[in-house]
Structure 1
């Protein structure tokens, strides 16, 4: 078996080395192919990447059309049976690739592995994201892409990332895989760590995420029962209202404080309604 890991990067001089090391220091029996797709960095990122040239199988550095375009380039180059994508601000946890290697070898019917995800803010551990129920993918993205490992045959059958999405293309891809009936396998051990300082953490991007997420499931939802369509409409109205109500406070309340507030509410009412869509 061969495992291909792809890192899309653009001007990440402060974090790329940690990402690279988290890949090349993994110990596995399978062949490892490491692919880095750089968007034409000019901040010293490429110089750091070149330090590890002996451990990088493919390096492409050129202007692209965003992170999902970079991912698509990497997937097109990948020759592995299994593909993982880890962004330049994120990193794999110890023995992550060993864990997925063992599972894919033991369970050849599995198409996609996913897991919880450690969240970090300003370099410090914040909490662990627990994925939501797969059935709720019709409403929103209940997984987190850095923890996903996908057989290349899935991309070959349903296509790559849809570049019409700037935030939700990973959700769109996973949703397409789910409705096509591919076999998902949940691993309880967090496989990756995620930095909340990235692009999707910007306040206004949340509303763009809502808009794109609505579009992801809309076509499929039209083919389902009317009660599900209504539930989905209500879900998005509540989501928008919640983001509008919390928009200003989020400008002043940092993630560590927000997490403590959420934890208190969660304990007081034995869980939040949103937990079934993923516990942040």
Structure 2
């Protein structure tokens, strides 16, 4: 079981993530940390905690999805999950509970996410992980940090995308998965709001449309209503 964290100049946030992984009761966790060349003390924090880290590299990258691809290549676990700086597992036995849900042919296990931000603190319950929901709801189908993926179907991210690589990744997973993903009735992670996607709203929307039409063709139009609502809500309803 591999947990992958990508981090860049986020030492204070990474400390919480590191502690969360170290506290997991599951006996077989490989922790992979990909740093983008931090200069704020993050590297020193990592080096001081190498007893809890199985693989670590610090070097410049082409962006978050390039860093995630490095994490995939560096990891060895049969299962993997991404937990980025500032995100934590919901409890110490989260990984153990999710791994107990596996069947012989299971390829994906996912659950809920607690969204934590300055004005929002609520649980996002995932929808069924299927093509229709991905087209209509996009990344609101489930939280990226709440999905465990078997290595047999893992795909690399499109690092030409800056903000919606995870949505494209979801479509890639669905094209490869052979068994129905398992939705667990538990909170998997605590997800820190305020990422770059929320800060670059129009670029986020443009990339969403690009990914939808590339993967769903003309049916990508079905995702436009939710996308428009998100833009309006962010701009005018907060």
**Alignment length, in residue pairs?**
232
CA distance in structure 1 between the partners assigned to 2:133 and 2:158 by the alignment: 21
Secondary structure class of the residue paired with 2:206: helix
User: Is the Cα–Cα contact under 8 Å of residues 116 and 190 in structure 1 kept in the other structure?
Assistant: yes
Say yes or no: does 1:129 pair with 2:153. no
User: Is the Cα–Cα contact under 8 Å of residues 89 and 198 in structure 1 kept in the other structure?
Assistant: no
CA distance in structure 2 between the partners assigned to 1:99 and 1:242 by the alignment: 35
Say yes or no: does 1:43 pair with 2:40. yes
Q: Which residue of structure 2 aligns with residue 195 of structure 1?
A: 192
Q: Which residue of structure 1 aligns with residue 68 of structure 2?
A: 71
Deviations 1:152-191 (A, max 9, x none): 1112xxx301112111111111112113344311011011
The 5-angstrom pairing of residues 1-280 of structure 1 reads: 3-29=1-27, 31-94=28-91, 95-104=93-102, 107-122=103-118, 126-133=121-128, 134=130, 135-139=132-136, 140-141=138-139, 142-155=141-154, 159-183=155-179, 184-202=181-199, 205-222=200-217, 229=218, 232-233=220-221, 235-236=223-224, 238-239=225-226, 241-249=228-236, 253=238
Length-normalised TM-score, structure 2: 0.89
Structure 2 stretches lacking a partner, 5+ long: none
Q: Alignment RMSD, CA only?
A: 2.0
Residues 217 and 18 (structure 1), Cα distance of their counterparts in 2 relative to 1, 3 Å cut? same
206-215 or 170-179: bigger deviation: 206-215
Structure 1 stretches lacking a partner, 5+ long: 223-228, 254-280
Residues 213 and 182 (structure 1), Cα distance of their counterparts in 2 relative to 1, 3 Å cut? farther
User: Is the Cα–Cα contact under 8 Å of residues 207 and 240 in structure 1 kept in the other structure?
Assistant: no
Residues 78 and 247 (structure 1), Cα distance of their counterparts in 2 relative to 1, 3 Å cut? closer
CA distance in structure 1 between the partners assigned to 2:26 and 2:85 by the alignment: 22
